[in-house]
Amino acid sequence: EAGVTQSPTHLIKTRGQQATLRCSPISGHTSVYWYQQALGLGLQFLLWYDEGEERNRGNFPPRFSGRQFPNYSSELNVNALELEDSALYLCASSLLPGSTIYEQYFGPGTRLTVT
């Protein structure tokens, strides 16, 4: 069974540009989560999508946004990039909320570098 996949692996942008990161969940998983791991910090929750709806967002500015498609894949968009947006962005998926199996399974991440 294929795991969570993310693309691209690495992304280099300049300040002020926009970045788009993509994630495909494990087959059968309907929830997708985005996290940011900046250098020296733990995983910070960004966004949670389930069944195409945004269910929750973390303490990040509105220039961080995303969407979930009918096939449950997801995009994370970061507008007006700032230097401090440089981080590893991780996507995770899980079965339906409320399932007894709630573990989130992570992809390998996209390393975003803003110069």
Partner 1 sequence: DQQVKQNSPSLSVQEGRISILNCDYTNSMFDYFLWYKKYPAEGPTFLISISSIKDKNEDGRFTVFLNKSAKHLSLHIVPSQPGDSAVYFCAASAVLSGNTPLVFGKGTRLSVIA
Question: How many residues are present in the chain?
Answer: 115
- Please name the residue that has the structure tokens 């795991």: 3
Listed ranges 13-21, 68-76, 77-85, 91-99: which one lies at the site for partner 1 (CB under 8 A): 91-99
Sole binder of partner 1 in the list 30, 79, 86, 108 (CB under 8 A): 108
Listed ranges 14-22, 61-69, 70-78, 95-103: which one lies at the site for partner 1 (CB under 8 A): 95-103
What distance in Å separates the CA atoms of residue 36 and residue 31, rounded to the nearest whole number? 17
Taking the CB of residue 86, how many other CB atoms lie within 10 A of it? 16
Q: Are the CB atoms for 72 and 30 separated by under 8 Å? A: yes
Q: How far is the CB of 85 from partner 1 (least distance, A)?
A: 19
Listed ranges 11-19, 42-50, 63-71, 76-84: which one lies at the site for partner 1 (CB under 8 A): 42-50
Q: How far is the CB of 49 from partner 1 (least distance, A)?
A: 11
58 near partner 1, rule: CB under 8 A: yes
Q: Is the dihedral of CA 26, 31, 34, 35 positive or negative?
A: negative
